[in-house]
Amino acid sequence: MTDRMTMQDPRAQYPKPPFPRQPQPVPGEARKMDPVPDHGETSYKGAGKLTGRKALVTGADSGIGRAAAIAFAREGADVAISYLPAEEADAAEVVKLIEAEGRTAVALPGDITNEDWCRDLVSQAVDKLGGLDVLVINAGHQQSRENLFEVSSKDFDETMKTNLYAMHWITQAAVPHLPAGAAIITTASVQAYDPSATLLDYATTKAGIVAYTKALAAQLLEKGIRANVVAPGPFWTPLQSSGGQPPKAVMHFGEKSAYGRPGQPVEIAPVYVLLASQEASYINGEVYGVTGGAGIA
């Protein structure tokens, strides 16, 4: 993996397309991607910014959630990770990486489209971590559809439940456990501001995440709890190769960014660390774009 501490041209820091054709079934596995994403397994260096924190990260088996979980552990936090049972192989690697830092890792496999499970996973995280003060809502569902009529009610429902309903259920369950100084971080997308024609339902949910989090931030500050949004651009994750983009588009994913490449998950992890930490004490209700130069407005 690249040495992130050495000054270098960011355009050439990570692999550029074209990439091999690599379709995967949903939900996809990071280990099967070519090139394998850099989540910070060897490249992220911690500095104790989250010492003693207790975090729950959804969608933490791979992609951005995995990078955030690894970074949190390197910064001194205990971490509970939520993921689908089908993602166990990737999740097991994350558990090992967290434990290698001497931190507590809690594995919570389950389907967040189920309300009862969303509430139970929060309860288990609080119980097994001994509390909760950082909540990262990151798990997402994305499937590319060429036109409006290919988006079935089932498709629409799954995207809404994964990306919006689960956020609401998990947040409702978590807030009573969060102390003053705690942080909630949601994951939206540049799609909230510049939606792709083939991601109609996904883009709709990402705009909803922005609105929900801004309203939440206004509510929770009276409790001393901050809430902010991270809005990624094109990042190299299994979400893309498992139907989030057409197979041919995956081969050229990130090519149109100003960098000429997609971002690697480790490149966004420091933003989650900042927003979770006390260094972000005056940051609330904000949207942090990490888009490779595309902007978010």
Answer whether residue 34 is part of any domain. Answer: no
Q: What is residue 273's predicted lDDT score, i.e. its pLDDT?
A: 98
Q: Which residues lie across from 83 on neighbouring strands?
A: 109
Render each residue's pLDDT in the chain as its tens digit; 297 residues.
467 778 999 999 999 999 999 999 888 889 899 999 999 999 999 999 999 999 999 999 999 999 999 999 999 999 999 999 999 999 999 999 999 999 999 999 999 999 999 999 999 999 999 999 999 999 999 999 989 999 999 999 999 999 999 999 999 999 999 999 999 999 999 999 999 999 999 999 999 999 999 999 999 999 999 999 999 999 999 888 887 888 899 999 999 999 999 999 999 999 999 999 999 999 999 999 999 999 886
Answer whether residue 65 is part of any domain. Answer: yes
Q: Which positions are catalytic?
A: 202
Residue 241's domain is classified under what CATH number? 3.40.50.720
Answer whether residue 24 is part of any domain. Answer: no
Q: What is residue 163's predicted lDDT score, i.e. its pLDDT?
A: 98
Exposure string over 207-242, b if 16+ CB within 10 A, otherwise e: ebbbebbbebbeebeeeebbbbbbbbbbbbbbbbbb
Answer whether residue 184 is part of any domain. Answer: yes
Answer whether residue 33 is part of any domain. Answer: no
In total, how many domains does the chain have?
A: 1
Residue 125 and residue 114: Cα distance in Å, rounded? 17
Answer whether residue 31 is part of any domain. Answer: no
Asked if 84 contacts 59 with a C-beta cutoff of 8 angstroms, the reply is no
Q: What is residue 2's predicted lDDT score, i.e. its pLDDT?
A: 61
Q: Classify 118 as helix, strand or coil.
A: helix
Burial label for 254, CB within 10 Å (0-12, 13-18, 19+), is buried
Write phi, then psi, for 119 (nearest 5 degrees).
Answer: -70, -35
Closest CA to 145 of 155, 135, 154: 155
Residue 134 structural domain:
46-285
Answer whether residue 297 is part of any domain. Answer: no
- Provide the H-helix boundaries in the chain: 63-74, 88-100, 115-129, 153-160, 166-174, 200-220, 238-239, 247-251, 269-276
Answer whether residue 195 is part of any domain. Answer: yes
Q: What is residue 80's predicted lDDT score, i.e. its pLDDT?
A: 98
